[in-house]
């Protein structure tokens, strides 16, 4: 699993690595500390999941989410300390797939990541709709 963490706090990726290792989840984690860097990394690397904070300088997470959605369907998990219903709704409306409030337990985080990956895998492996051959008279 390749995760991209977009968070202005550089310790977030280290904490995620520790959590995932504790849960025996193999993950390659990259972190950027600004929204513009995050958008660029999504374009370059096409990660399996983006973990995005909302409160960042320069470009907030809502704007980053909208920008990523304009070119990618990568699953976006918001991981934020903001816990008001309006913030959650705005993030989901901006294109996020899921929202967790910090601090979050390791098992809940892993379960949500697995759900996003399962949904993505299922969507990518759906059989293509085939047009039946034309009927012959």
CB 45 within 8 A of CB 4: yes
Give the DSSP H/E element, type plus range, for residue 4: strand 2-6
**pLDDT tens by residue, 3-28:** 999 999 988 888 888 888 888 887 88
CATH topology of domain 2-122: Rossmann fold (3.40.50)
Provide the residue ranges of all domains of the chain, joining segments of one domain with +. 2-122
| pLDDT at residue 129 is higher than 60 | no
CB 52 within 8 A of CB 79: yes
If you average pLDDT over residues 68-81, what whole number do you get?
97
**pLDDT tens by residue, 76-93:** 999 999 999 999 999 999
Average pLDDT, the chain: 88
What is the reported pTM? 0.86
Q: Partners of 32 in the beta sheet? A: 6
């Amino acid at each position: 699993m390749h995760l991209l963490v977009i968070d202005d706090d550089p310790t977030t990726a280290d904490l995620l690595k520790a959590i995932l290792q504790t849960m025996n989840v193999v993950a390659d984690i990259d972190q950027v500390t600004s929204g513009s860097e995050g958008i660029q990394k999504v374009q370059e690397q096409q990660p399996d999941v983006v973990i995005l904070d909302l409160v960042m300088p320069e470009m907030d997470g809502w704007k980053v989410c909208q920008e990523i959605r304009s070119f990618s369907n990568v699953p976006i998990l918001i991981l934020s300390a903001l816990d008001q219903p309006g913030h959650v709704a705005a993030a989901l409306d901006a294109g996020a797939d899921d929202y967790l409030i910090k601090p979050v337990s390791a098992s809940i985080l892993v379960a949500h990541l697995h759900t996003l990956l399962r949904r993505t895998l299922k969507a990518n492996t759906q059989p293509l709709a085939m047009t039946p051959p034309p009927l012959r008279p």
